[in-house]
Structure 1
């Protein structure tokens, strides 16, 4: 017991605060989380805010510049460090309609693309525009994300309905 009390216990007491501190060389997840909350204007779990805290098991290399924050129409905020090359997506909680009267006031647009329609798929980048055709796998109104299938054995993908007969792919991997 003396060995434990004199050598091991003091070592444990010193090591505990070090384990709680942010690891050197890694991005401070608390600061990243605070930046996302400030950018979306809502706290964790609140409508429009992050669904849950950023996973504390992540070890992101420290970004030399401030990470960029972008909002996507998929309901997530994207934190990206272009200098190093890491990117994480933070899912956002859906916004809720406050009252039944507000729900009644919200009008659902009619679908402009029907299942089975051949549509133009447009991909717009910073320096290019590419288009092709695909078949809609579901109905969609402007602003909706719908499932599409290309020619042959191509893997189905999602795109946002822009106008009748046209969908837009906005994010590339």
Structure 2
């Protein structure tokens, strides 16, 4: 009986860990799309530095496809998603300056009107879907890693302690 219980707990633990390790943002939030153009209270709020070096990224996926003066929404939004989705977790972090930094470089290299992507890229209620867009290799040759949210880390700790608790019974 104890062996069966241990096996069940082990299976649950593995399922939890596999779900946690694969968790990443499957969308780019509208807040992230619109955050780069806002001022006001955000000037008083200190944001943490972005862990991604957007200066070294390759923007040609956007600049080669999204061209004015008409800026076709389907072409521009697909190019934007292909560039931005691998960074979705960092871009969606409103406590970091990732979205602002990324849009600064996009606008620098593409000379796009302010708020272009926030105005033309609309999908679901929560944001732009990143389904089917895989990890990206940067100019430096590194694949961008999935980051764990504090919620995921807490869940992993609870699962670990639960496994230890049931193992000791």
Bin for the TM-score computed over the shorter chain: under 0.3
Greater RCO structure (CA 8 Å; 6+ sep)? 2
Instruction: Give the number of the structure whose residues are more often strand, by fraction.
Output: 1
Instruction: Give the number of the structure whose residues are more often helix, by fraction.
Output: 2
- Per the normalisation by structure 1, the TM-score is 0.21
